[in-house]
Structure 1
Amino acid sequence: MLGRKKQQLTFTDINILQTWEQKPLVPEDSFYYGLSQADDVFRDELFADCYASCGRPSIPPSLLVKVILLQFHDRVSDREAEQRALYDLRWKVALNLPLGEAGFDHTDLSRFRARLLLNKKERTIFEEILKAAEAKGLLPTKCAQQIMDSTYVLGAGAVQDTYTLIRLAVRKLLSTLKNRPDFPELSLNLDYEGKGKPKINWEDPAEREKLLNQLYQDALAVISATEGMELSGKEMELRDLLMTVATQDIELKGDGSVTIKQGVAKDRLISTTDPEMRHGRKSSSRLFDGYKNHTAMDKESEFVTAVTVTPGNTHDSEATFELIDQQPEERRPKEVTFDTGYGTGKVREEMATRQIKVISPVPERIGKDGCFPKSAFEIDLDRQTCRCPAGQIAPEKIYDKKTGRLRVFFFSPDQCQNCPLLNQCTRNKKGRRTVTVNAHERYLQEGRAFQKTDEFAGKYPERCKVERKQAELVKYGLRKARYLGLAKVTLQALLVATVVNFKRYWKLLNQKVTAAVPYNDMAINGTTPVLASG
């Protein structure tokens, strides 16, 4: 049953103590005081459908939401949050809690987070802050200009090697099936009851390969034993996990044995504790393991307007339209600024269809082996011609058989072999240069032309605003995942963004009220204006 915040005051109530002191216990422009004045935003009714209509009243969800936001603001655990609520006056002001009361048990927090995910309420408070900002005139809705960016989130799961992945996946599946009467007795090579790694000489390649083959054989045996069984959702998930890790890094040899293949498999699963985290790249040389957080920010007000989280190996451009589509129609941007990671030809074409202006440099490829890049060639799509740096026109073209789209320009060997720029242009064994035409070439050309304009030069530097916002998100705990799984990491990202947005909301609201009060009135009274709730 939904519990609601009590309105009756007591002698130990924190508001009574502030009355005795005749001044607030915390600064009025602080995050803590702001939370105490935001009961119009954090309302119990928002979560009414998460609770039964009868029974014992719950802890008020408005209280738990504030606690979770304070957790991220102060970077504390569930247990520490309970202690802060009991002894820290700043938290008592924020939560309107009487002296001597915590108001909740630390276990209530994990249950409440699970309730948010179960009832698809993870975005509720994030959206309520934005609605409140719109209502106060702090967040523009018409002709919105937004900036998008991403940052990495280190996963909470352990990153495991191939041996550990297979061993733990076998163990997880066996532990769920061992009590089923229809699961047969298996004679396996290894013991999967113990938690330690197999005791072999890990420096010996022969012993490692022997262990790999034993693990592989056991994995196949367990998978084969489950064929034809009616599996639950959890059991099927674990079986799929085992099938993935047992094959992704494995290469069959001619004699039927297996070895670890060279290279990294595409979309490689790296952890059995968090199967959704992935290898990702911060740059061409710097790697991370976990997720990517993608953020859209209003350029004028600097509110975070959209958040989505993807596995670490997801290209930035794949999150672009999720950031747009999750926003209400009236808040969706008319102009978007982002870096080259988002500014692909496919994104530009879709943006043009949606009539959204793109402020982004076009990704440029470096010429292979130090040769002329594609940008050195003049491509006329209307005339379907390609002119090289030496002024030659490509005589041959290839079209897509299905769509009829122009795909490649070919220069002839005679043109290239007699050209003084040959060594700067191609190392092709056939002695001639080819130029590939992107499926979205026209939009890329328009982007290259636009980035040479004064308008682009004036607007693109404003992208740095979102870098500051990302740094603030990291400050409040976004860099390291607290939880396992994409859904829970997304919840974390939304809660951190809500903390950052509420800080911004309270700051702008204070500035707005202060600006509305004549300076002489404040000087006469000797006080600063107090913001009323609502």
Structure 2
Amino acid sequence: MIQKQTSMVFSPYMAIYDVVVPKDNMLRKINELIDFSFVLEELRDNYCLHNGRNAVDPIRMFKYLLLKTIHDLSDVDIVERSRYDMSFKYFLGMAPEDPVIDPSSLTKFRKLRLKDINLLDMLIHKTVEIAIEKEIIKNKTIIVDATHTKARYNHKTPKEILMDQSKGLRKVIYSIDEEMKNKFPSKTTTDVLQDEITYCQKLIEVVETEERITQYPKVKEQLNLLKETVSDDIEQLRISKDQDAKIGHKSADSSFFGYKTHIAMSEERIITAATITTGEKTDGKELKALIEKSTAAGMVIETVIGDTAYSEKGNIEYSEENNIKLVAKLNPSVTQGFRKKEEEFQFNKDAGMYVCKAGHLAIRKARQGKKDVATNQTDTYYFDIEKCKICPLKEGCYKEGAKSKTYSVSIKSNEHTEQATFQESEYFKEKSKERYKIEAKNSELKHRHGYDVAKSSGLLGMELQGAMAIFTVNLKRILKLMA
């Protein structure tokens, strides 16, 4: 259970923080910037207020997850660092002499306490509220884009996942002491998952007995990652690959297995809204949700900036209805007007091809009709017939015995005359120059906060990771602009 009021920390050593945690420390600034009591209010219903043992303060648990995102460390490593890092203890609201939590508590907190909480919208709304209050957001423009995250459990088998992690651990150990080869257990020779799990458990036992080796940070990090996979994710390993992740396409020649995060960001580089979908979803379909979520967070929107994926007919109409200027270049393959089976075939702007509802990308296209007469021309997209023959969704889509599967789209550029005219204006051209900002934000999420690969499996796990990562980059941006 949790106490009805969070207790104050009394310790004769609290003054140490004034000495060892400087005024310009980022964690001190975050503590001063935001009142984290909103976390307690949101999670209260997921705790018992009257029975059971006292739980660790939910605010402290939330802050552990925030620290984990800021520093991109495992549960074990973030807890270990909070044992001796005074800035961590200060941020967590602990006395210098207080003991740290058991790392397994973070797993329970994620699975039990954060369930049924729309953490993504809640944390974005909180940072946007602060940015507006501090008069950081001044413009009425948002920039939209999507970034992809690879699934943690890719197309590899569970055994291959464990083999890769154990190999990484052995590799860093051999760089220190090659003689350790003689102490390690024999590698498995079967394809049985349980044998590989047993091997990894024995390997972990041997490494942990070698104190001189485990003192090296690079060994400790690899060891903790392997332990976390074997202990926390053993059930998921048996299930095999991520059941929610889907194949998406970055270009006509490259694909990924995972998720997409669709982001709206102010010109001041504060993320104002986000939606997280499986990898095969198209960018343009999320525009309405991004605008509505940004508005709900407190944004006043007059202009939206995006790439060609957002210039489809429905988005142009929605923008006009809501008096929003849509700065997104027209693409004949995207802005088709009325076409058949719109929900079954979606355009992938990166690959320049259509994707069917099963996630299969067209392999080529051909334009038909009279040249230079747009209303009479069609683009015909051809799909891999061998995939269609064995597709579980082929009923009503593929006819048995057919030698080809195609999807044709009429080009009706005349329906977009106003948008084409707006596209040539100086306002459109100037605003288009701002789009690079969101690409830099996507890069920051991936390369500084581990957003290139999912930390866990499933869409819910991805939403939690997205919520914490976006909350982190927004807080850092607010602090930077305030300074």
Whether 1:460 aligns to 2:432 is yes
Normalised by the length of structure 2, the TM-score is 0.64
The SS at the match of 2:450 is: helix
Distance in 2 (CA, whole Å) between partners of 1:64 and 1:28 is 24
Q: 1:499 aligns with which of 472, 475, 479?
A: 472
The question of 1:277 aligning with 2:249 is answered no
Q: Is the 8 A contact 2:142 2:301 kept in 1?
A: yes
Distance 2:365 2:255 in 1: 25
Q: Equivalent residue of 1:341, what SS? A: helix
Distance 1:52 1:442 in 2: 62
**1:53-112, Cα deviation, whole Å (9 max, x unpaired):** 212332111111211111011011111111111111231232232223344221221222
Counterpart AA for 2:79: E
Partner amino acid, structure 2, of 1:96? G
- Equivalent-residue separation in structure 2 for 1:443 and 1:137 (angstroms): 40
Q: Greater Rg, structure 1 or structure 2?
A: 1
Tell me the CA shift for residue 45 of structure 1: 2.9
Decide which structure has greater helix share.
2
Q: Is the 8 A contact 1:41 1:129 kept in 2?
A: no
Give the aligned partner of residue 48 of structure 2: 52
Q: Residue 326 of structure 1: SS of its match in structure 2? A: helix
Contact in 2 for aligned 1:147/1:338 (Cα 8 Å): yes
Structure 2 residue 417 is matched with structure 1 residue 445: yes
Cα 1:373–1:132 change in 2 (3 A) is farther
Q: Which amino acid aligns with 1:89?
A: M
Counterpart residue number, 1:436: 410
Matched, 1:286 2:258: no
Q: Is the 8 A contact 2:154 2:257 kept in 1?
A: no
Contact 2:136 / 2:481 at 8 angstroms: preserved in 1? yes
Distance in 2 of aligned mates of 1:374 and 1:148: 36
What's the offset of the Cα at 1:148?
Answer: 0.5
Per-residue CA deviation, residues 173-230 of structure 1 (Å, 9 max, x unaligned), is: xxxxxxxxxxxxxxxxxxxx96489xxxxxxxxxxxxxxxxxxxxxxxxxxxxxxxxx
2:26 maps to a residue whose letter is F
**2:7 matched to which residue of 1?**
6
Q: Check if 1:94 corresponds to 2:94.
A: no
Segments of structure 1 that go 5 or more residues without pairing to the other structure are 165-192, 198-270, 380-385, 389-406, 409-433, 512-534
Q: Residue 18 of structure 1 aligns with which residue?
A: 17
What is the alpha-carbon distance in structure 1 between the residues aligned to residue 41 and residue 367 of structure 2?
A: 64
2:332 and 2:411 in contact (8 A); partners too: no
| Identical columns (%) | 24
Map of 1:305 onto structure 2: 272
**Aligned pairs, number:** 346
Give the Cα–Cα distance (whole angstroms) in 2 for the partners of residues 38 and 472 of structure 1: 22
Distance in 2, Cα, partners of 1:154 & 1:372? 37
TM-score by length of 1: 0.58
The verdict on how the C-alpha distance between 1:353 and 1:9 changes in structure 2, with shifts beyond 3 A counting, is same
Please say if residues 9 and 95 of structure 2, whose CA atoms lie closer than 8 Å, have aligned partners that are also in contact: no
The 1:443–1:507 alpha-carbon spacing in structure 2 relative to 1, beyond 3 Å, is farther
Distance 1:435 1:489, change over 3 A: closer
Matched with 1:40 is 35
Amino acid at match of 2:462: V
Deviations 1:317-349 (A, max 9, x none): 122222223334442522110011222222212
Secondary structure, aligned partner of 1:137: coil
- Is 1:354–2:322 an aligned residue pair? yes
Counterpart contact for 1:29–1:506, Cα < 8 Å? no
**3-state SS of 2:277 partner:** strand
Unaligned runs of 5+ in 2: 161-190, 196-238, 334-351, 353-363, 380-407
Return the offset for 1:442: 5.3
Aligned to 1:74: 71
Q: Does 1:344 align with 2:312?
A: yes
- Pairwise CA distance, 1:128: 1.9
